[in-house]
Amino acid sequence: MLTTNQNRLNALLIPTLSILLGFIFGALLMLFFGYNPIEAYQAMLAGVFNSPYFMGEAMRQATVLTFTGLGFAIAFKAGFFNIGVAGQLLAGWVAAIWVALSFPDLPRIILLTLSIGAAIIAGAVWAGIAGALRAYFGTSEVIVTIMLNYTALHLTNYIIRSVLTTGNTTERVSENASLRVGWLTTLTQGSRINMGLFIAIAVVILYWVFMTQMTAGFEVRAVGLNPDASTYAGMSAERNIILSMLISGGLAGLGGAIHGLGTFGNIFTQSGLPSLGFNGIAVALLGLGNPIGIFFSSILFGVLDVGAGFMPNRAGVPDEMADIVIAAIIFFVGANYIIRVALDKMRSSKTAEKGGE
């Protein structure tokens, strides 16, 4: 019992300490360059939380991060690194906009279902390629998804320039394909927060149910923990690899649809891969693969991302600081061995002081 309690405690302590250490690292860096870290962090938090508009924007960012985070997490649970969530998000984004622009006059519910469905399929297929190659040829999914990322980037730009338009930005989708809801927009004084938030919450619950209550989810986790034992127990490793990658890419594609139909209402050519993909990986690692943890990590990163915009003007600190803090947090999550060792040392010295048990 003691060990499970301690594991539970560690599961909360490690992300909390990592966040703390990440912020401390950022503060030290700012001090070193002669900036005032307290002013900077204050500007960030006050900027977001004093304004309904920016709170809405932070939640809007958190919504998309939840999808890319969950997408990375499910493949991670099955033992795979889906570095390609950025490319799958792009695939979903362009698919959703393409469908929405092709049938602008369909009734809202049908058009939204079609667009979002197309996005999920596009993302799932893009990740499924990597899953199938891994399952049948043993090809490293890390390399394949990285290559597919850049393929998706160039293909998407090509589709925008040569198929959807002749310029660099598509038209806006019709009202019938928009995920915006009037009362949410009014409540947040015109921010781009949208229905995606509720879809995200629903998906978080579905993800939890799938992973903990369903046989298929159990198999995914089992294959991730020990592929040989799972195969011996009659589970198909190939099937589970492909299934987890399909769901992973589908979730990233869904995130792309929310980004396209909710945030922007169109798509435009990108000069690089969207940071939402890599920050989704960060969110998943910080949430330690737990859906609720991922949701709250997304909110934290949403606040960091949107709040960063206030640092240059109010504190004179470049807004890249937020990304440095994010990277530092993930460094400590990844190197949690050092935190574990420190915690164990503290605990054992405490028991030693009490004179053992």
Partner 1 sequence: MNIVSLLQLIVSSSLIYAAPLIFTAIGGAFSERGGIVNIGLEGIMVMGAFASAIFNLTFTSTFGDMTPWLGLLAGALIGILFSLIHAVATVHLRADHIISGTVINLAAPALAVFLTRAIYGAAQTGPLAEPFGRANIFLLHRIPVIGPIFFENTSGPAYLGILVAVISWVVMFKTRFGLRLRSVGEHPHAAETLGINVYFMKYAGVLISGLLGGIGGAIQAQAISNEFGVLTIAGQGFISLAAMIFGKWNPLGAMGAAIFFGFAQSLARIGNYIPIIQDIPGIWLQIMPYLLTIIVLVGVVGKAVAPKAIGKTFIKSK
Q: Which of 334, 345, 347, 348 binds partner 1 (CB under 8 A)?
A: 334
Query: At closest approach, how far in Å is the CB of 124 from partner 1?
Result: 18
**φ, ψ (nearest 5 deg) of residue 319:** -75, -10
Residue 246 binds to partner 1 (criterion: CB under 8 A): no
User: Which string of x and - marks every residue 139-158 that binds partner 1 (by CB under 8 A)?
Assistant: xx-xxx-xxxxxx--xx--x
Please, are residues 261 and 52 in contact by the beta-carbon 8 Å criterion? no
Query: At closest approach, how far in Å is the CB of 176 from partner 1?
Result: 31
Q: Kindly state the number of chain residues that form the binding site for partner 1, as judged by CB under 8 A.
A: 45
Q: Is 29 helix (H, G, I), strand (E, B) or coil?
A: helix
CA distance 68 to 35: 33
Q: Give residues 157-196 in contact with partner 1 (rule: CB under 8 A).
A: 158, 162
User: How far is residue 271 from each of residues 154, 161, 318, measured CA to CA in Å?
Assistant: 9, 13, 21
By C-beta, is 219 or 305 nearer to partner 1? Answer: 305
Rg from Cα positions in the chain: 22
Residue 83 binds to partner 1 (criterion: CB under 8 A): yes
By C-beta, is 55 or 325 nearer to partner 1? Answer: 325
Structure tokens, 219:
């198999």
Interface segment toward partner 1; rule CB under 8 A; list 112-120, 195-203, 245-253, 318-326: 318-326
Residue 324 binds to partner 1 (criterion: CB under 8 A): yes
CA distance 54 to 239: 43
Query: At closest approach, how far in Å is the CB of 81 from partner 1?
Result: 5
By C-beta, is 57 or 323 nearer to partner 1? Answer: 323
Interface segment toward partner 1; rule CB under 8 A; list 44-52, 189-197, 292-300, 324-332: 324-332
CA distance 251 to 246: 9
Please, are residues 268 and 260 in contact by the beta-carbon 8 Å criterion? no
Query: At closest approach, how far in Å is the CB of 207 from partner 1?
Result: 21
Residue 326 binds to partner 1 (criterion: CB under 8 A): yes
Helix (DSSP H) and strand (DSSP E) numbers for the chain: 16, 0
User: Which string of x and - marks every residue 257-286 that binds partner 1 (by CB under 8 A)?
Assistant: --------------xx-----xx-xx--x-
By C-beta, is 54 or 72 nearer to partner 1? Answer: 72
User: How far is residue 191 from each of residues 261, 290, 342, measured CA to CA in Å?
Assistant: 14, 29, 43
Q: Give residues 42-81 in contact with partner 1 (rule: CB under 8 A).
A: 81
By C-beta, is 219 or 323 nearer to partner 1? Answer: 323
Q: What DSSP assignment string belongs to 97-144?
A: HHHHHH-TTS-HHHHHHHHHHHHHHHHHHHHHHHHHHHHHH---HHHH
User: How far is residue 58 from each of residues 52, 53, 68, 191, 308, measured CA to CA in Å?
Assistant: 10, 9, 16, 9, 11
Q: Which of 320, 345, 347, 348 binds partner 1 (CB under 8 A)?
A: 320
CA distance 351 to 357: 7
CA distance 151 to 322: 29
By C-beta, is 111 or 159 nearer to partner 1? Answer: 159
Query: At closest approach, how far in Å is the CB of 133 from partner 1?
Result: 6
By C-beta, is 111 or 282 nearer to partner 1? Answer: 282
Q: Give residues 24-43 in contact with partner 1 (rule: CB under 8 A).
A: 33
Applying CB under 8 A, the residues found at the interface with partner 1 are: 33, 81, 83, 133, 137-140, 142-144, 146-151, 154-155, 158, 162, 271-272, 278-279, 281-282, 285, 318, 320-324, 326-328, 330-331, 333-338
